[in-house]
Amino acid sequence: MDKKLEFNEALSALVEFATVNGNVITSADIKAHFKEIIDDEAKYEAIYKYLISQKIKISDIDEDTETVDATLPNAAETEEGKAFLDMYYNEVNELALDENIDVNALIEASKNGDKEAINKLTELHLPLVMDIAKEFKSSPLRESDLIGTGNVALFEAIVSYDGTATDYKEYLSDYIKKSIKDAEEEEISSVRTFNHAANRANALSDATIELAKELEREATLEELCEKLSLSEEEVRNVMKMSLEAINKNPTEE
């Protein structure tokens, strides 16, 4: 098999492997995918930099190693999202905090499934979600999505609390932060998969046009595979995804 084709297939397999494993892999995982392709240790540096740029963490690589910037830009908030946030923040800030509320009693009642207690605890801790969301300044998620994810996590944390954690607020905070981080990882994986597919679709389009000019006819599947150093199955998949994107009805979003 052509070396470039082998490399492309190994890289695609490695990215899929990383996605399944929560975007965290080791240098051993990388070398296992390329052991029959790369025999020069120095050549792995380019692979490390590419993976880190795709927000894939290599757990045993020094974080101080010079790499390309791996930070994804903040997702732009929609006008509807901005309006929601303004209204939401105003409503939360206007919530009257009754100093006579016995939080511990509410916690005990919530453990027994008391819906009123659960709702009151959720209301009391909405500012906590707002504070935590502010910690995720470089998040690929919109601020409104951070708040939404955090609020759902807050409710789940209150319902699932069984009293084993000694610090209630810390328990809620940890639960909310983990949920937001999980949502971020899911978003990063989706963006990476989309970009990977888009890059291949663009490369296929460019190769099709270039070969048509060179050959003065439409290129065959075999010629496209050779040009792109991809297998026939991969080229067919790229073609299929491109057609699906073209035929997709925008109202189905």
Task: Report DSSP state, residue 41.
Answer: G
- Taking the domains of the chain in order of start, what are their residue ranges? 1-70, 74-253
Report the pLDDT value the prediction gives residue 130, as an integer from 0 to 100: 92
C-alpha 48/C-alpha 214 separation (Å) is: 36
Q: Torsions phi, psi of 57, nearest 5?
A: -85, 130
C-alpha 5/C-alpha 111 separation (Å) is: 57
Beta carbons of 129 and 170 less than 8 angstroms apart: no
pLDDT along the chain (253 residues), means of 10: 68 82 86 82 79 80 46 65 85 73 92 93 92 88 90 95 90 95 82 70 85 90 84 80 54 43
Report the pLDDT value the prediction gives residue 192, as an integer from 0 to 100: 67
Report the pLDDT value the prediction gives residue 66, as an integer from 0 to 100: 40
CA angle 18, 33, 60 (to 5 degrees): 60
Report the pLDDT value the prediction gives residue 110, as an integer from 0 to 100: 94
Report the pLDDT value the prediction gives residue 128, as an integer from 0 to 100: 93
C-alpha 97/C-alpha 102 separation (Å) is: 12
Q: Torsions phi, psi of 45, nearest 5?
A: -60, -40
List, for residues 238-253, the tens digit of each pLDDT value: 777 666 554 544 444 4
Report the pLDDT value the prediction gives residue 242, as an integer from 0 to 100: 63
Q: Is residue 24 classed as helix, strand or coil in its secondary structure? A: strand
pTM of the model: 0.57
Report the pLDDT value the prediction gives residue 77, as an integer from 0 to 100: 75
C-alpha 92/C-alpha 100 separation (Å) is: 19
